[in-house]
Structure 1
Amino acid sequence: MANLTVSLPERQRTITGSGDLTLVEGLSLDIRPGERLALVGESGSGKSLTARSILQLDPALKLEGSITWKGCELLGASRRVLQKVRGAEISMIFQDPMTALNPVLTIGEQVAEPLLVRGVPRRKAYARAVEMLDRLGVPKAKERMRAYPGQFSGGMRQRVVMAAALVAQPQLLIADEPTTALDVRVQEQVLDLLEEQSRELNLAVLFITHDLAIVAGLAQRVAVMFRGRLVEEKPVDELFDHPDHPYTQGLIGSIPRIDLDPDTRLTTVEDYLVLQGGAHHE
């Protein structure tokens, strides 16, 4: 994407003000095959809006700039083109595994759906769904195709969500806060699965999170968003060793450390922005 701007049209605004409300401004990013790129920032920084804009999932928003995929411009593309890309070439994992699945449809129906809507015969689609569930570590995958989401733990539901996202063999996976509401152990398992699938399938992963601490072992490159703008982008090791922007420094500095005195007050992002004169730094 190049110079992407996402705004809420004036007619959609519910708060005081006139003109379009800019939510993401002038953002440029690229991701290569097999690369794992983390998009990091606090809630409200524009991460999820940016991700959803790639697939144009929010028709009420105004998009400007360019989003190219394999040489094709997606902004302004026809519905037919977008339907071809969504799920098959670019897939997305949404935030909460507890709500991402339909509680009244079986696991099998939901994992096989991306194939069924593209005309894959039911028998073949279900066989590929079983294969993907098995690949992601769901025990007795064939039997559990007939189960419902409520019969799965949070970690298993996230594996199901991942299976549905990967079953059509996309080239880009957008993972929007995929470890939200999961305990630390399950978070680790989900991150390991993402890295494993990225390596084995040469899958590009855009990993969106507010937690900079969890990207060190997954991402190869990190992009940091602040107030709707991209403020820093570096290889992951370089970012942790030499963060340039005060906001990035604040994110890293506010990560809890096991070697700190329990009575020591943790620094906040705002501390760095104020102390380093970065409150209005762009």
Structure 2
Amino acid sequence: MTSTDPILEVRDLTVVVPERFRIGGGDGDLTLVDRVSFDIRPGERLALVGESGSGKTMTARSVLQLDRDVELGGSIRWAGRELLGASKRTLRSIRGGEISMIFQDPMTALNPVLTIGEQVAEPLLVRGTSKKEAYARAADMLDRLGVPKAKERLRAYPNQFSGGMRQRVVMAAALVAQPRLLIADEPTTALDVRVQEQVLDLIEEQSRELDLAVLFITHDLSIVAGLAHRVAVMYRGSLVEQQDVEDLFDAPQHPYTRGLIGSVPRLDADPNVRLTTVEDFMAAQRAADEIVEDEEVNADV
């Protein structure tokens, strides 16, 4: 592969919950993700955006096939290899080593009864690295990510770290095995604004230094503007728009994308005027479509 070739190619991905696995029952299978396609190249940062429930996380988790009670369709090619239908052994070798994932809440992602060192070093230990080398590399990664006295704090527990430091620990565990793709699932949601900025800077820095591809999942377009190269917009399980980040903000094509951008609060907005919602944009688009349909019907008559 050359640096211009996609390292991850997703084609017509579908994620379906079979009727037998639906919580509380329900008639028929439930489609969560419908024919989603995108590519990511080495060093590229792709943001997957949309409201809660749009299918972003299910799409990302499907790359690593983390959910047992769903059926996947389409194609997921990693470095030229097809992952759908791959053996458990193949998937285990890729998870954490070639592709790593950061989950939303760093406190629930970390085991409270294991030390920081045990958790950051684990991706190396399960691949046969000696304990001495694994812990040395764990301390080095924590130090690179700005954790003070990293070597000493390998013996600490997650409850002894602040929220921002815990997120750095989660990042260290994700990056210590030097993956080629990092999936970051809303990694700044539970953090204050200052810590959010620090975490985003770290992701961008590691992406540049390691030529690390990043799939960044978020509902916050203000984050996307300063981090991503490209943006893919999801709406109700489907990918409705995909553009370079500058083009998306300059000329959004889909009404849902315009709604996401238009609903972001502005400092210069009139506080007495109700904030426009995404649904306002979608309702306006539906009304416009109905007018066009009526005009076409009248023209035919």
TM-score band, normalised by shorter chain: over 0.9
Higher-helix-fraction structure = 2
Q: Partner residue of 1:181?
A: 190
AA aligned opposite 2:127: R
Q: Partner residue of 2:79?
A: 70
Counterpart contact for 2:17–2:70, Cα < 8 Å = yes
Shift of 1:18: 2.7
Distance 1:105 1:280 in 2: 57
AA aligned opposite 2:188: T
AA aligned opposite 1:49: M
Counterpart contact for 1:159–1:190, Cα < 8 Å = yes
**Cα RMSD over matched residues?**
1.4
AA aligned opposite 1:233: Q
| Ranges of 4+ aligned residues in structure 1 off by more than 2 Å | 14-19, 278-281
Q: Partner residue of 2:174?
A: 165
- Given the superposition, is the C-alpha separation of residues 231 and 278 from structure 1 closer, same or farther in structure 2, using an over 3 Å criterion? farther
Distance 1:203 1:40 in 2: 20
Counterpart contact for 2:113–2:157, Cα < 8 Å = yes
Distance 2:126 2:287 in 1: 49
Counterpart contact for 2:204–2:227, Cα < 8 Å = yes
Distance 2:139 2:77 in 1: 33
Q: Which of 239, 248, 254 matches 1:245?
A: 254
Shift of 1:257: 0.5
The answer to whether the aligner puts 1:109 opposite 2:118 as a matched pair is yes
Shift of 1:280: 9.4
Bigger Cα displacement from structure 2, 255-264 vs 174-183: 255-264
Distance 2:150 2:237 in 1: 41
Q: Partner residue of 2:3?
A: none
Distance 1:255 1:266 in 2: 8
Higher Cα Rg, which structure: 2
Question: What secondary structure is seen at the aligned counterpart in 1 of 2:201?
Answer: helix
Structure 2 gaps of 5+ residues are 1-9, 291-301
Q: Partner residue of 2:267?
A: 258
Structure 1 gaps of 5+ residues are none
Shift of 1:20: 1.4
The answer to whether the aligner puts 1:92 opposite 2:106 as a matched pair is no
The answer to whether the aligner puts 1:119 opposite 2:134 as a matched pair is no
The answer to whether the aligner puts 1:236 opposite 2:232 as a matched pair is no
Distance 1:71 1:197 in 2: 24
Shift of 1:17: 3.8
TM-score, scaled to structure 2:
0.91
Q: Which of 151, 160, 177 matches 1:151?
A: 160
Counterpart contact for 2:46–2:229, Cα < 8 Å = yes
Aligned residues: 281
The answer to whether the aligner puts 1:28 opposite 2:64 as a matched pair is no
The answer to whether the aligner puts 1:209 opposite 2:218 as a matched pair is yes
Question: What secondary structure is seen at the aligned counterpart in 1 of 2:225?
Answer: coil
Distance 1:132 1:279 in 2: 53
